[in-house]
Structure formats: C-alpha cells, structure tokens
Structure 1
Amino acid sequence: MRPKNGRRGMGNPYDDDDDFDSPEYVEMKTRPKMELWDRIKFLLILGILFLFLTVGASSANPLMSTWQSIIHEANAAWWLVLLFAIEGIRQLHYLVAEQSPEWNTFFSQVLSSGVQRRSANMNDWTKYRMSRALKYIGVLAILDIFLAAHYHLSVFTALFQAPAALASSMPLVLQLAFGFVFVILQFVGLFWFLSKGGVDVYFPGDVKTRFSDVWGQDAVLERIKENIIFLKDPDAIEEKGGYVPGGILLWGPPGTGKTLMAEAVAGETENPFVFVDPGAFINMFMGVGVMKVKGLFRKLRRLAVRYGGVVVFFDEADSLGSRGSLSGVQGNASNRHSFSSHVTACNGSSYLSPASLAEVLRSYQGDSIADQPDSRGRLSRFIAGAGGMGGGGMGGSGTLQALLTEISGLKKPRGFFNRTVRRAFGLKPKDPPKYRMLIMMATNMPESLDEALLRPGRIDRIYRVGYPSKVGRIRTYKGYLEKVNHELTEDEIDRLATITPYATGATIKDLVNESLIISIRDGRDSITWRDVVRAKQLKEFGPPDDVEYIERDRHAVAIHEACHAVAAVKIRQHLTIDIATIEKGSNFLGLVASIPPEDQFTRWRSEYEADIMVSLASLVGERMFFDGDNSSGVSGDLESATTVATLMEGYWGMGSTISSHAISQKSGTGSARPGGKGSGRREGKDLPVMLGDRIEAKLDELYRRVRILLEDNRDKVFSVAHALEAYKTVTGEDITAIIEGRRGPLLDGSVYGDSAFIAKLEHYHNAVLAAHRDHRTPDVSLPMPPNTAALISGDSTLLVQDFALDVVAPMTKPEEA
C-alpha cells in the first residue's frame, strides 16, 4: 500500500509508475475536512427543535423544573434523541475519516462500494435531483414528527395540521415582518436620499455655448469634433471593423478651457449632456457612492436608448479616479520653501526664466514633485497612476471599482421582464442594445488618476489642453475684446499676447474684464492700452502695500533693482523685461519681472549663465555702490543662482566635468564632500574636482563678469534707479529706452544722455551713501531733469498727469505706471 502521506520520493517503493496500475495497489487518502458550519448545522437544528419542545412542556406544566422538562421530553421525543445520536455518529465517522486514511479507505472501498457502483451509473443531473428530493423529504419528515409531538397527533395526520399552525402564527409573523420591513425602508429611504444630487442633465438646446466660442485650442477642438461625429454616425467606423471611441480625457493647467469645451459639446450635440459634479461621489456612508454610480449609469442607459446617444462629463476627475494603490507621496505644501529668507528681500524669482525658476522650485520641494506642474503650471511628465492622492476622495470602498465596471463591464439584459419573466418561462433574454455613450473627463492632475481608468476601452483618447500659443492668445484676446469697446490696435493686441506668454482663456477673460473696470473707474467706456497694462500689473503683483520707504532705503532698493535690470538688458537675450518696480509687495521690496519673447522649448548653457549673472547683479551692485556693504535682500538671489549653478555643474553637463553627480552619488564613485568615499579626484591644478568647489568657481567667474559689466554701465544703473525712484513702477520697454538713451512708449530716456544730469545723480548717490553710513536723512533731494515734463514721452495730458514727478508724495499704485 502507498505510504500514509501519499507522496513518492527517493527510496519509495511505489515510485515506479507500473506499481500504480497493479490491481493490488489501493490509494489511501483521508476524507476532505468539513467546515465547522457543515459539521454542526444538523446538530444545531435538532437541538433547537428539542429546546422548543422543552419550553413548550415547561409552559404546559409550570410545576415542572427545567431538568424535569428535559427528562420528560427526552422520554417523549425519543425519536429526536435518536436522530441526534445518529447525526453525532455520522459526524464522528467523518472526523475519524478525516484523520485516518485506513478507516476512510475501508469505509469507501468495502462498506459503501455497492452504493458507489450504483450511483456511478447515474448522470450528475439525476444525482442532483435525487439529492434534492431526499433533502425535501427529510425536512418534511422532521416537520411532521415535530408537529405530531407538539399537537399530540399521529405522524400520519400531523402534517395536515401545518396550514392551521401557520394560520394561527400569522399575526406574530406579520408583526415581525412589518417591523423588519419598516427598519429596512428607513435605511433604503436614507440611502436613496443620499444617492441623489450632483448630476445635472441638459437636453438638446439647453446650453448655448458652441465650438465657435472656444478660442486658442483648435487642435484639441478638432479631435473632440471628430468624436461627436462618430457618436452621431457610428456606422462610419463600425462598418469598417472599428469601434466608436467611448472616452476622452482632457488634462492641463487650470483655466485652459477644458470645461468650456465640454459646454461646447453640450451645445453642439443633439444628444443629452450629463454633467457630474466633482463631489458627487463623496459621501459619509460607505456604499452610497456605489449606489450613485449605478444610478448614474442606469440614467445614462435610459437616455442613450431614448435619444440614440448621450454625453457625460466628469469635471475635476482627479476626485473620482484614484484608488491610491499605485500612489506615491507628493510634496506637502508645508514643506515648500520660499525664495526669500525670514527677512523681506528682493523677489529673487521674478526675473528668472520659467525653466530656471522651475528648477529652483524643484530643488526645494524634492524629487516628489518630479511629475508635478512647474512654476508656470505646465506638466513636465505625465505618468498615469503615479500620483499620490491616496484614494482620490471616492467616498468609500468599491466606488471606483463600480465606476470601472459600469464603463466597460459586462452588459446585462435590460429590463425586469426581459431578465426575469422571460427566463422563468424558459425563454432566452433579449441581448442588451448598444448604448451610445461618450464619457468626457477633465483634470489638471492626471497623475492622480487610476491606471485602470485610463486604459483603452474606458478612456480611449487623452488630450493635453495646454497653454495657448501666441496665435491662440491673439485669437482669444480678439474674441473677448470684441464683446467690449476698446481702442487697441492690431499691433497692441499682438504685443499683449507676447507679454502674457502663459495666459489661459480664463486669465485673458479676467484681464479684459479688469481693464474694463479700470476704464469705467476713470469715467470712460472704452479700454485703452494703458488700462490693459495697469490691469496686467494688478493681476500679476496685486496692489502694493500702503507704505513709504525712508529716502536712503528707497535709493538702495532702486539701485538693487536697477542692477538686475541693466544686467538683464545687456546680457540676456532669451527674456525681456516686463516690468520693474520698487513698490513694496506682500513678500518683496521690489522686483524685475521678465517674460520670454517667443515660445522656446530648449535651454542652453549660455542662457542659464545669463540667468545666474542677472541673479548675482544685485550682490555685485550693492557691494560696488555701497563700498563693499550689502543687504540681506540678496538672499533670494543667491539661492536662485546657487541652485542653477549646482544643476549645471552636477547634473546637466554644463560645467567643467561630464559625469552626472546624481549617478556618482548612487554608485559611490563620487562625492561632493572632501574626503568622501570614492571622491574621484582628478589630476590637474586648474580643475577643481569637488562639486562644491566647482559651483563656487562658476559663481565667482560669473560674479567677476557681472562686476565688469556694471562698472562699464555705472551711469545706466543710476539712470534706471532714478526712474524707479521717481515713478516706482516702469515698464520693460521704457527700461530699455532709458538704457539706450532714446524715447520709450511712456517715458523719454533721452534725458539721461545729459552728462551734467548724470553727474547730479552721482552726487545724489554719494549723499545717500554718506547718510547710509551715519543712519541719517540725506542732505540733498532726488535731482530733477532740466525739463520735468520732457521725461514724459508724448503730448498726452492724461499721461503727464499720471506720471508727473512727485518725490514727496509718490504714486502708490504700480499698475498706474
């Protein structure tokens, strides 16, 4: 016989396959173990029946004790005790068979072999019907015996007493059923009420927005139109063996027109449009979200059958589609560093190019934001399912799974009659119809969506709705300006699109509206270029703080920003100055903001070096103009310069070495710390090998170049600083005009070509420098050009009034410059 464990191995005499075919071989194995419920269920039923009989006997004779009642019913209902004993012996047999393969083999092969041979001739369906009939007969027999004992009748007539017993117990049964149904209805009503809301249905003609109202996103709009065509005429693609794309995801920065496109779809399509609120599936009770999902898709199927198709739009889909199973940990706002230190300083990020500013932000926020939008909101990489929203607020377990199943799960037959009644009569249910649904989703956080939601079959097309190009911005500006009165020329609209490189449809609409408000405030009903410039400054920088600098601080801040401005104009070609101001803001004393004149997608070493030099210009200028002294306001500039220099030297291959510092650190072949493991020092006196040394050498080299530049343009620094002290806020074109000594759009920079006036500015600076040393008020006031009005470009009386020099009571609103 085979060993007890039933296995073959080395030294086992039954390893030979022929041994298993011999008639003497009988495989020995134990009976499969039963679950606890299967083992005790019949014993439990018989025990409950005996308990009922005992309680009945006690009720009939209150003088009997509990033990006497048990003895009495054991004698009277001996058949119940016998059944209990038989079931106990059966379970004991099963227990022994589960432990002993010899007993199980003996019982199955010897004692019950005849029954098994007879049952082997029957098919499975016959066996199932016979077992079911035997179960029904057993239940009726037990019920008959119970009724006979309870009513003291013969077992042959007791079963006919069952209808009367049921009728007599109906009041109690109905009372219990009413209480049960009442409780259930309360919960059903509560959950039904909670499952409503958050879904709005718009029928054809309800929405007035059209595709012609969406500007600046023509490429994406054409793709969406294509989906609408396939929804209206599905045979155009299905006859050729394809299928209609059923899902669209629109992702991109906020305000780029994703929801507006959905509104246009609602206005253009001839099908119902269902708008799902972002918080529709967020609930306090688990399971309500699943009910909402199923209720939503029942409604969608009804609309699709009735109207031939339906469009559903999930706004802010990042709140719907993340289970968090693939999520990482995103940067927390509390861990984000500010550019400025604890003291109020120069806004060290305002003049950086977007790419440099993005890298500075990344250095403070860590690798966890590698796939998040950069400083201008653009997504650098899109990896589905890699975000970290930790569940996405789906409002309970199973809600997202229900959404995924409803979008692409099995389609069951439609209707109660079709599913139940036809099946009860043995008829095959009708196949479900083809539900024409177009699912649209919009989000600015695509990395937080679940990977399963984005697979083809659920979301077939994914479109990035990014920042409009310059052509798109011009079209958008024209579209919104056509709705108001304005005096802007084509060149001014083109110029406005240039100086707002990352404007979205929402920000453009807001800018035009703010310009209209400014014009109405001034008593006009037509927007001018001056209104647009003021509105732009107000939106970007906010209203200035209502404070006044002491004179030596005002001059120091003006020199600081003038150095930035002169360096930016002389060195940097990939950016132009948008605005310069010394109006104190919420977290800066002054700033020089720059913008890219064109859409550029590659960055070069020379451009990053120019960014660093513009950052260092404030430190160089303060030390040069204040006898080696400098303020804490350069802290943000130094942080920005050091960050970009570190990335150039260690990561981007823009330094004196080629290897990547990140890989060297991981592999242990390099170190930025002297004496570190595998520091990898190279021979050569002229090549500092440590990363910190190389960064310092790069900054020192650029520092010296900036110093030479500012020394050669000392008079330009004084000129720009004078304009900032006089006007507080100066546009970038006027800054360039002042440096080049020509007439600008608003200011005439040619007055700074007078050497006598420059000498007065030098004398004023020396007086402020002496006051700075002694912490006192300067002896002289800010000098004026020979012809004060000549500083204003043009003959406009309004401009002269707005820009008249008033050193004692300077303007307090930078947007008015």
Structure 2
Amino acid sequence: MKQVNNPKRSLLYYYGFAMLIIVIFNFIAMPWYSERHVQQINYDSFMTMIDDRQVAEVQLQPSENQIIFTSTEDDTVYKTAMVEDPNLTQRLFDADVAFTGEIIEQASPIASFLSFVFQILLFVAIGQWISRMLLKKAGGNNAMQFNLGKSNARVYVQSTDGLSFKDVAGQDEAKESLTEVVDFLNNPKKYQAVGAKMPSGVLLVGPPGTGKTMLAKAVAGEANVSFFSMSGSEFVEMFAGAGAAKVRDLFKQAKEKAPCIVFIDEIDAIGKKRGQAIGNDEREQTLNQLLTEMDGFEGNNGVMILAASNQPESLDPALLRPGRFDRQVRVELPDLKGREDILKVHASKVQHDDSIDYNKIARMASGASGAELANIVNEAALRAVRQGRNAATQNDFEESIETIMAGEQKKNAILSDKEKWIVSYHEIGHALVAAKQSGSAPVEKITIIPRTSGALGYTMQVSEKGNDYLHSKENLETQLATLAGGRAAEEVAFNSITTGASNDIERMTQLARAMISQYGMSDTFGMVAFEQRNNQYLGNEASATGSAETQAAIDREIVELVGTQYDKAKTILINNRELLDELSHFLYNEETITGQQFMEIVNKYS
C-alpha cells in the first residue's frame, strides 16, 4: 500500500524554548557554581592568618566591598568583607604579603544583555537547523512528523502491491466479517435499505502471529477508502494531555476523509481497565478521549474503527460495550485445513518442488500460528540454498519444522558411548509405550541427534486428524504414560535414572494438574475447578483458587496419578523387553529412524 505523507509544523519553537531554559539556567547557576570554590571567613580570622604568615597574596576590591586572598598552605581562595582598617596595608607590608588595590572592571550591563541575547539566537539557530534536518529525513521516509498533540497516523490509499483477502489464508470466518465491513463502506445504500447500521468498531483478538495486523492491511487493500493506521503505544506521551490531543487529531482527520477506516494496533496499550494502577493519569485521559470520540460517531458517518489486541480480558468494559466495539472477531490458531492453505500461500512465494505434501507438513506443525508457518516455509527455502539446491523439497520443509521445534542440529556435540545408549533407550521408551497403547498418535520420527535447544533427542508423534478438539480422560492418561516412557526405559535397561527426563516430568506434572484442577477428572474432587486461567492468548497462566488444604490434597493426587502412569509405562516396557533392546540398538546405530522403520520392527514382534 502507498503511504501518503502529511507534513506538520516545524519543531523550531519547541527547540527554541528548550534552549532558552538552558541559557537562563546557566546564567543563574554559573555565578553560584563558581563561588562554591571560594571560602568565606570573617575579618578576625583574616587578621590572624596575616599574623601567622599564612596569607600568600591579597587583592583589595573596594567596589565589591570585599578582600580576596590566597593561603600559603594550599590553593584555597578566601574572601572576607572589607572593614575600616587604616593599618591594613602596613600589616600586610610587615608580613611580606603581596597585595594589590587593582579593581576588576565590571562588564557593561548593555554588553552583558547583548551577550545573553546572542546566546539565545545561537541556540535557536541550532534548533532550527536540527528541525530542518529531522523534517528532511522524515519526509524521505514517508513518515509523519513528531509534533506534540499531532497524531502519527499513517494514511494509506489503494495500491496494486498492497495485501488483499486472497493473501490471507486460514481465517475464513474473520475474513467474512471484515468483508462485510468493506462492503458496507463501499455500498452503504444496500444495508440502509433494510435499516442496518454499520458497526462502530471491530476488535480483532487472538494469539500473537495469527494475522490480526495482516487482516487489517488486507482491509486497506480491499477498501476504496482512506485507511489510518496507528499503534496504541504511539498515543502514549510523557506530557499530560498529549495523548488525548493525538486522539482528537486522529479522529478529526478521519471525519474529514469519511468514509474511511481507522486501525489501532495493540489497543491494550491505552485501553486497559481504569483504576487498576497508580500513576497512569495520562493513559486514562487518552482512553477517556478515545471513548468520547467513538461516542461521537452517530448514524452512517462512514468511519469504521478496527483494533487488535492479544489481551481482550484486560480492556476497559466501557471500550468493549456495544456502540463502541460492536463486534469482536476471533483470529484463532488455524486448524489443519487452515495451516495447509497458509503453507500454500507462503510456498507460492519461494521455489519448491511440485511434490510437496502440504497435508503432512500441516499435521506435523499442529498448533502453529500463521507467522510460524511462514517461518517454516522461509527456513525450508534457506535450507535449500545451504544444500546447494534451487528449490525447496519435502525434506527441507520437514527439517525446518524440527529446526523451529527443537533448534538446529549440534554438529559439535559429541555424546559419550554410554550417554548415546541412554538417550537411545529413552527415546525408544517414549515411542514403544505410545505404540503399545490404543488412541495414541502414530510415531513419525525418532532421533538422538542433539539440538541447540538442549534436547539430546526427541520423538515426534503426528496425529492423523491434525487437530484434537476434545480429549478423553483415557487419552490424557495415555499421554502421561507416553511421557513417562523415557524415564521408565532408563530404569528398565540400566536400573538407573538420569536428568534427561526433566522436561518430561514438567509436562507430566502440568498435564496431571490440569486433569484434576481444571477438567474435573478426579474421583475425589469431581467437577470442581481449583485453578483460574489468565491471559488466554499470552501464556494462559493458571492461578490457584482453592484453600491451602485443598492444594495439598491436589498435590497428593497428582503424585498418585503420575506414579500410576509411570508404573503402567514400566510394565509395558518390561513385557516388551526384547523389542525395546532391538529398537534401541537400531536407533543407536542409525541415530535417526522414521516412523515406518519403527513400525516395521514393532509389527514383526506382534
């Protein structure tokens, strides 16, 4: 999209005012600073120092009614008030003190004033030069100017190289809602005929990387209207009232160019609930002004507000009510078909083989966002270049997923023979326990090549369905047993345990706690939730809501549940010890085996 420049007033006055303050400060403070190094004493002490021959040189200043002198013992400069003492010169002569009656000439008041004015003009000229340089640089970048009270909104017009809805895949429901908005702006009479009103605002919410900002840019590419884009953080200023002034200026421009679209990215920067923090008066003033401006949109004035946020639960209720943001569009993580479509869109921009199985890659990338899928495609293209090929292959795509999940291969990490055996048994333990349970996702790949993430090996399972929306209690217990398979294999094979299962233990504990505290899968507690989820799209942290006694009981039940599934995994491996040994030896020698190779050996024993 093409960006339209909007020149503003120069910053000359702000620079001149700042420089004036600096000059005045120096004019007042310099005399005080200079005199800090002159020590004042009384006349009696001056006489005593003369008698003790501690005075080196004296300067009499009758016009200033003071005497300046230095000491013979150090470099300290002293001063004292001049008193009527006719014997002073004789006393100084007798003490062999060099003295002078020269009076330091005082600068003319007119000359001082002219010097002061010259400094101001000099600083103003420097400020004007800096301002012109900033304006010149800003104009070259098609950016807005940095004036207080003026919005930095970027104004876009239609452009052939801009994004459109065809460039956004995996968000069909969101595109449908936004397509209606674009159509309303372009054909308002069609909706007015049935009495429909255009929504005042549409809030895009969802996890990071799902394409909220891209959808907003696609709206700009589809609409034949002006499009104002601004981040919520750009409203925040250190000067009180500046943010509110920016809001007023932004909406003033929008009203002048109606019909138009105003997009505020990361609106939670200014739209958080009021009264929760201290010292946020400026942010609250900005929010209040935003609420007022959105209330000002009445009837079909042709102004549509789009906003994006990762934290909808933190936004002020007054901002979310109908009449301001009438519609919330969920931009969730894409499903299997959505991931496949996104991969195809990004793969069309790089050279690749025609035999790419996008469905398999999409299943391997379960839970990935649109941004992560774009990164997978880019990593595949980079790997093709590193391998000296002019097109990305299926193997490049699969390896890029592993790179993003576990990091690059550590070619300089050399495991000892014993460590390699332990990792081999550990990973086969995961895979074998999964294969011997019903309802477990098939094993896709097993490797013991260390990765930069710290993993010494990993087992990849890929669900045939691509997405599981519901999990039964039995399915979650199967996952627990599979996670426990690594540690169980170590104990069965070596009668010893290592630190290699630390990540497995952490995941098992989290899953077991969720089963009891969130999913109501405990016979003891039943369908009672003891945890509250926070920040749905940013971490989804859990906070305990039960008493200390209840939490202690939950902890005991977690230990029991995890222990039961660990015993289950251990029993499976003991009953299939010969198969465990053969698979571990095969992985030890090959370092990486596919799911097909793994299942061929498993089926041979079956």
Please give the TM-score of this superposition, normalised by the length of structure 2.
0.67
1:452 aligns with 2:347: no
Deviation of residue 663 (structure 1)?
A: 7.1
2:288 counterpart letter in structure 1: Q
1:302 aligns with 2:167: no
1:443 aligns with 2:393: no
- Give the distance between the partners of 1:205 and 1:240, measured in 2 at CA: 32
- Give the distance between the partners of 1:225 and 1:394, measured in 2 at CA: 38
1:726 aligns with 2:594: no
2:234 counterpart letter in structure 1: A
1:286 aligned residue (240, 262, 268) = 240
1:404 counterpart letter in structure 2: L
Give CA-to-partner distance per residue, 1:294-330, whole Å, 9 cap, x none. Answer: 11111111111xxxx00111112222311443x5xxx
Partner of 2:446: 580
SS at match of 1:193: coil
Cα gap change, 1:663 to 1:320, in 2 (>3 Å): closer
2:456 counterpart letter in structure 1: L
1:177-188 to 2 correspondence within 5 Å?
A: none
1:466 aligns with 2:416: no
1:459-608 to 2 correspondence within 5 Å?
A: 459-489=325-355, 492-545=357-410, 546-571=412-437, 573-584=439-450, 585-598=452-465, 599-608=467-476
1:527 counterpart letter in structure 2: A
Unpaired stretches in structure 1, ≥5 consecutive residues: 1-185, 328-389, 412-432, 674-689, 742-752, 754-817
Deviation of residue 439 (structure 1)?
A: 0.6
Give CA-to-partner distance per residue, 1:127-180, whole Å, 9 cap, x none. Answer: xxxxxxxxxxxxxxxxxxxxxxxxxxxxxxxxxxxxxxxxxxxxxxxxxxxxxx
Aligned partners of 2:165 and 2:222 also within 8 Å: yes
Identity of counterpart residues, as a percentage? 30
Partner of 1:618: 486
1:704 aligns with 2:571: no
Aligned partners of 1:642 and 1:699 also within 8 Å: yes
- Give the distance between the partners of 1:650 and 1:248, measured in 2 at CA: 35
SS at match of 2:229: strand
Unpaired stretches in structure 2, ≥5 consecutive residues: 1-126, 132-144, 532-543
Partner of 1:717: 580
- Give the paired residue count: 452
Partner of 2:497: 630
Deviation of residue 402 (structure 1)?
A: 0.5
2:335 counterpart letter in structure 1: S
Deviation of residue 391 (structure 1)?
A: 8.8
- Give the distance between the partners of 2:208 and 2:302, measured in 1 at CA: 30
- Give the distance between the partners of 2:161 and 2:269, measured in 1 at CA: 25
Aligned partners of 2:518 and 2:530 also within 8 Å: no
Aligned partners of 1:320 and 1:393 also within 8 Å: no
1:101-180 to 2 correspondence within 5 Å?
A: none
- Give the distance between the partners of 1:578 and 1:529, measured in 2 at CA: 14
Aligned partners of 2:423 and 2:457 also within 8 Å: yes
1:181-330 to 2 correspondence within 5 Å?
A: 193-196=147-150, 198-205=152-159, 208-304=162-258, 309-325=259-275
- Give the distance between the partners of 2:146 and 2:521, measured in 1 at CA: 63
SS at match of 1:571: coil
- Give the distance between the partners of 1:395 and 1:235, measured in 2 at CA: 41
Aligned partners of 1:562 and 1:720 also within 8 Å: yes
Aligned partners of 1:499 and 1:597 also within 8 Å: no
1:398 aligns with 2:285: yes
SS at match of 1:611: helix
Cα gap change, 1:459 to 1:532, in 2 (>3 Å): same
- Give the distance between the partners of 2:350 and 2:549, measured in 1 at CA: 63
2:425 counterpart letter in structure 1: I
Deviation of residue 653 (structure 1)?
A: 4.3
1:408 aligns with 2:295: yes
SS at match of 1:398: helix
Aligned partners of 1:650 and 1:691 also within 8 Å: yes
Deviation of residue 281 (structure 1)?
A: 0.6
Cα gap change, 1:728 to 1:466, in 2 (>3 Å): same
Deviation of residue 289 (structure 1)?
A: 0.5
- Give the distance between the partners of 1:493 and 1:669, measured in 2 at CA: 49
2:602 aligned residue (724, 739, 759) = 739
Cα gap change, 1:276 to 1:518, in 2 (>3 Å): same
Deviation of residue 556 (structure 1)?
A: 0.9
Give CA-to-partner distance per residue, 1:272-306, whole Å, 9 cap, x none. Answer: 111113431121211110111111111111111xx
- Give the distance between the partners of 2:545 and 2:328, measured in 1 at CA: 36
**RMSD between aligned residues:** 3.5
Cα gap change, 1:515 to 1:565, in 2 (>3 Å): same
Q: State which drifts further: 656-665 or 400-409.
A: 656-665
Cα gap change, 1:206 to 1:719, in 2 (>3 Å): same
- Give the distance between the partners of 1:214 and 1:649, measured in 2 at CA: 39
Give CA-to-partner distance per residue, 1:41-63, whole Å, 9 cap, x none. Answer: xxxxxxxxxxxxxxxxxxxxxxx
Cα gap change, 1:560 to 1:287, in 2 (>3 Å): same
Cα gap change, 1:213 to 1:526, in 2 (>3 Å): same
SS at match of 2:521: coil
1:47-58 to 2 correspondence within 5 Å?
A: none
- Give the distance between the partners of 1:692 and 1:217, measured in 2 at CA: 40
Partner of 1:746: none
Structure ID, larger Rg: 1
Deviation of residue 614 (structure 1)?
A: 1.4
SS at match of 1:255: coil
- Give the distance between the partners of 2:429 and 2:263, measured in 1 at CA: 52
Please give the TM-score of this superposition, normalised by the length of structure 1.
0.51
Deviation of residue 572 (structure 1)?
A: 5.4
Aligned partners of 2:424 and 2:448 also within 8 Å: yes
Give CA-to-partner distance per residue, 1:477-527, whole Å, 9 cap, x none. Answer: 22222333322436x221112111223322222222221221122222122
Partner of 1:50: none
Deviation of residue 403 (structure 1)?
A: 0.8
Cα gap change, 1:531 to 1:203, in 2 (>3 Å): same
